Structure 1
Amino acid sequence: MKEREFGRGFLCGILGCLGAVILLVLAMEMTGILDLRGVVRAGSGNHAALERTIQKKVNLLEAYIDEYFLDEIDEEKMAESVYKGVINGLGDIYAAYYTAEEYQEIQEKTEGIYCGIGTYISVDANNGVVTIVRPMKNSPAEKAGIRAGDILYAVEGKEVTGMEISQVQALIKGEKGSEVELTLIREQKEVKTVVTRDEIV
Structure 2
Amino acid sequence: MDNENKDDINNSNRYYGNNYSENQRYNNGNNYAGNGNYSSVNQYGGNNGYNNGNNFTGNNAYNNGNNGNKHGKKSYFAGLITGVIWGIAVVFILIILSNIIESELTESGKISDNVGTSALTGSSKSSIIKQYIDKYFMEDVDNDILTEGMYKGMLESLNDPYSVYYTKDEVESLKQSSEGEYVGLGISVTQNNETKVITVTKVYDDSPAKDAGIESGDTIYSINDNVLTDETLDELLVDIKGEEGKEVKMQLKRGEETIDADMKLREVLIDVVSYEMLEDNIGYIIIDQFTGTSAEQVEEAINDLKSQGMERIIVDLRDNPGGQLECIQAILNYFLPKDKLLLYSETKDGEQERYYTENDGLITDMPLCVLVNENSASASEVFAGVVKCYDRGKLVGTKTFGKGIMQSTFGLSDGTAIKLTIGKYYLPDDSNIHGIGIEPDYEVKLPEDVTNVWALKHPDDPQLTKAIEVVKGLD
With normalisation by structure 2, the TM-score equals 0.25
Q: Take 2:227 and 2:200, find their aligned partners in 1: how far apart are those partners?
A: 15
Q: Take 1:192 and 1:25, find their aligned partners in 2: how far apart are those partners?
A: 43
Is the Cα–Cα contact under 8 Å of residues 117 and 172 in structure 1 kept in the other structure?
yes
Aligned to 1:70: 125
Aligned to 2:224: 156
Q: Take 1:27 and 1:177, find their aligned partners in 2: how far apart are those partners?
A: 38
Deviation of residue 124 (structure 1)?
A: 0.8
Is the Cα–Cα contact under 8 Å of residues 173 and 242 in structure 2 kept in the other structure?
no
Aligned to 2:334: none
Deviation of residue 103 (structure 1)?
A: 5.4
Equivalent residue in structure 2 for 1:194, among 258, 262, 279 = 262
Q: Which has the higher contact order (CA 8 A, sep 6+)?
A: 1
Aligned to 1:89: none
Identity among equivalent pairs (%): 23
Q: 1:65 to 1:151 in 2, by over 3 A?
A: farther
Query: Which residues of 2 match residues 1-201 of structure 1 at below 5 A?
Result: 24=11, 26-27=13-14, 30=17, 58=19, 61-63=20-22, 68=120, 69-71=124-126, 72-73=129-130, 76=144, 77=147, 100-101=168-169, 104-105=172-173, 107-108=175-176, 111-201=179-269
With normalisation by structure 1, the TM-score equals 0.53
Q: Take 1:28 and 1:65, find their aligned partners in 2: how far apart are those partners?
A: 15
Q: 1:118 to 1:66 in 2, by over 3 A?
A: farther
Q: Deviations over 1:87-115 (max 9, x none)?
A: xxxxxxxxxxx964265246426754322
Q: 1:66 to 1:134 in 2, by over 3 A?
A: farther
- Once superposed, which parts of structure 1, at least 4 consecutive aligned residues long, lie more than 6 Å away? 64-67
Is the Cα–Cα contact under 8 Å of residues 153 and 183 in structure 1 kept in the other structure?
yes
Q: Take 2:222 and 2:16, find their aligned partners in 1: how far apart are those partners?
A: 44
Aligned to 1:169, the other structure's residue is in SS state helix
Aligned to 2:58: none
Structure with max Cα Rg: 2
Q: Take 1:170 and 1:25, find their aligned partners in 2: how far apart are those partners?
A: 25
Q: 1:135 to 1:171 in 2, by over 3 A?
A: same
Ranges in structure 2 where 5+ consecutive residues have no aligned partner: 1-8, 27-119, 131-141, 152-165, 270-475
Letter in 1 for 2:262: V
What is the RMSD computed on CA atoms of the aligned residues?
3.7
Deviation of residue 193 (structure 1)?
A: 1.4
Deviation of residue 177 (structure 1)?
A: 2.1
Q: Take 2:216 and 2:228, find their aligned partners in 1: how far apart are those partners?
A: 17
Aligned to 2:258, the other structure's residue is in SS state strand
Aligned to 1:11: none
Q: Deviations over 1:13-51 (max 9, x none)?
A: xxxxxxxx9x948449948xxxxxxxxxxxxxxxxxxxx
Aligned to 1:35: none
Deviation of residue 150 (structure 1)?
A: 0.5
